[in-house]
Chains A and B, each alone.
Chain A
Amino acid sequence: MIDGHYLLRRIGYSGAAFVICVTLTFFILHLMPGDYITNYLLSISNYLPQEAVDQFYQQYGLDRPLWEQYVIYVCNILQGHWGYSYQYGLPVFPMIMQKLTWSLVILLPAVLLGIAIGIVLGAWSGWKSGGKKDLALFNFMIVFRAIPEFWWAIMAVWVFAFSLQWFPLGGFTSISVLSSGLNPWDVLYHAILPICLLTSFIVAGNYYVMRNSMIAVIGEDYITTARAKGLDERAVLWRHALKNALLPMVTMTTFQVAGIIMGSVFIETVFSWPGIGLLTTDALRMRDLPILEGIFLLDALMTIGAMLAADILASHLDPRIRMGDQ
């Protein structure tokens, strides 16, 4: 189906993008003012013996010139060594993976549901564009998206957790975890509210793109051709309009899957969900560079992988792309 040369070229571009990402991330992070000692240990840094400070710098190689640190860093990640956290002294990769697992508990269902519902609602709304139901939904989405997600999150906590007490206020498990261990149903119970909020936001974003795309497609001549053949409206929508309208969605949704890592910083903060969003804000405050480097490295890998996947997927949907960049 897909041309080998085309695939090789895309993979080449992806490699180049990865090198640029790694380099930029490294230098930007190291250019940040302050470091772990001055930011976090400020209160006690006056009492710290100079030997201890020197030893910290030496241990993490921070006493070497920046370019040398960069070469060491690149050599390390190429061998699969992601470094050690300043704060915890633990290897970064398993730490990130553990937090990522927790993030995925709320992000995976939210992204999948959000994409599916967004596409269906957007396609329906675009197909019925101009009608009363479409306008009602469209205006509702505008208002919903115009207000930031953390406000909705706080409102949801206030209404559903505090007033109605249907859901817990935050966290990922009840205190019973101490006596009876982690209960999946209990985790799900804690996850429902954050999942619903994240889903609604992803729905709203996808809804717009899908609606616009559908409106553009129903004005196309081939839709009239399909009707002129005697197809009923449902067949015109499913066979002729949807596949064309989905083309811009492919890129957008694959990016959402990639952006999954950073997708829930606000929601995780409001709900105290122990995921990668919390880890990021925490590491940023502490200038825990190895953790930040690890998170951004993972993000870069996922984004680049998703772009590659989007290209391949798009070329399956749209035969015109298969010809390459001619």
Chain B
Amino acid sequence: MSLLEIAGLSVQFEGRDGTVPVLDNIDLEINSGDRVALIGESGCGKTVFGMSVMRLLPSNARVTGSARYAGRDLLLADEREMQQVRGKKIAMISQNSASVLNPVLTIGDQIAESLTIHTSCRGKDLHREVIALLTSLGIERPEENMQKYPHQFSGGMRERILIAMALACNPDLIIADEPTSGLDALVKAQILELLRTVMQDRTLLLITHDLGTASALASHTAVMYAGEIVEYGPTQELFTYPLHPYTQGLIAASPSAGFHPIPGVSPAPGQVPPGCWFCPRCTCATDRCSTGHPSLKKTGTNRQVRCLRYD
């Protein structure tokens, strides 16, 4: 059953020098129980995508298209309605745990906050609930630690706290934006293991540039390049038989495959080349690639790819 259905989602930012397109015509369907990874280079629009679904982009963002959640288009919902969705139905694990927690509130207060707004849980029950959350996320001595402030925790611990905050109201969908960035290898492995456990029966939209994280957690993967989706499919299949040259390049660039970089850099927003946007960096580009912009085509039973070679 489709939980979140995004169709034709585009985002443009209005600036002093006109509008800058950041996301172009994104279609993505997330079914209940899916764990979808959105992967791509830094700056390709992954975070903006998550924020646009939550309706948390700054006021100069122009969002078009639709994002249907439980039959309701979130892009048309008013602010009050969105407040009922945020944290309760769709929760977010933001990237950069050092700055996303409020430095002057205890972590216990910050976790309890979502419960206070969205549930009738108060007093002793609330206290118990927070302790249960902290315990389930492997935070020792929860009674003592919930009184502490964010700066008193390590990066890995803060990540666990962020996960606790997101899980607090038992939301239908969790959007996790780079949940393992900035962690050392050992802690990263622990957090991945933890996420794999707690996300077992949940629906997840994972935003990451790390292929390892995506393959460890996601059932489906969407590859994003310069603000559009270029490939989509079940994670295992996609990583084993990548169809799009960009996906192939990403996999070849990963450490385990020997660090073969993709030549060139991704285009700045609004300065995409005519034809296929990946064409200037593509090793298999032909003449027609620089003129016709390919559309996202279904290939096989459950794969989608945006490349003229599969037309």
Contact = CB atoms under 8 A, between A and B. Distances in A.
Interface of A: 220-222, 224-233, 235, 239-240, 243-244, 247, 317-320
A247 B113 CA distance: 22
B56 interface: yes
A113 to B, nearest CB: 26
Nearest to A226: B102
Contact of A229 (B79, B87, B151): B87
Interface stretch (B25-33, B92-100, B122-130, B207-215): B92-100
Contacts of B56: 224, 227-228
Given A221-B94, A224-B56, A244-B104, A232 B83 contact: yes
A226 B87 CA distance: 9
A240 B102 contact: yes
B293 interface: no
B117 A222 contact: no
Interface residues of B, number: 31
Nearest to A317: B104
Given A239-B113, A240-B105, A243-B105, 20 more contacts: A221-B99, A222-B103, A224-B51, A225-B100, A228-B54, A228-B87, A229-B87, A230-B82, A230-B84, A230-B85, A230-B86, A230-B114, A231-B113, A240-B102, A244-B102, A317-B104, A319-B104, A319-B151, A320-B103, A320-B149
B57 to A, nearest CB: 10
A50 B213 CA distance: 95
22 contacts: A221-B100, A222-B99, A222-B103, A224-B51, A225-B94, A225-B102, A227-B86, A228-B54, A228-B86, A229-B165, A230-B82, A230-B84, A230-B85, A230-B118, A231-B87, A231-B117, A239-B113, A318-B103, A319-B104, A320-B103, A320-B149, A320-B151
B100 A229 contact: no
Contacts of A233: 79
A247 B104 CA distance: 10
Contacts of A317: 104
Interface in B161-218: 165
Contact of A222 (B80, B87, B102, B149): B102
Contacts of B102: 222, 225-226, 240, 244
B91 interface: yes
B101 interface: yes
A239 B101 CA distance: 13
Nearest to A243: B104
A229 B103 contact: no
B104 A231 contact: no
Given A224-B56, A319-B151, A229 B114 contact: yes
B88 interface: yes
Nearest to B50: A228
A248 to B, nearest CB: 13
A220 B99 contact: yes
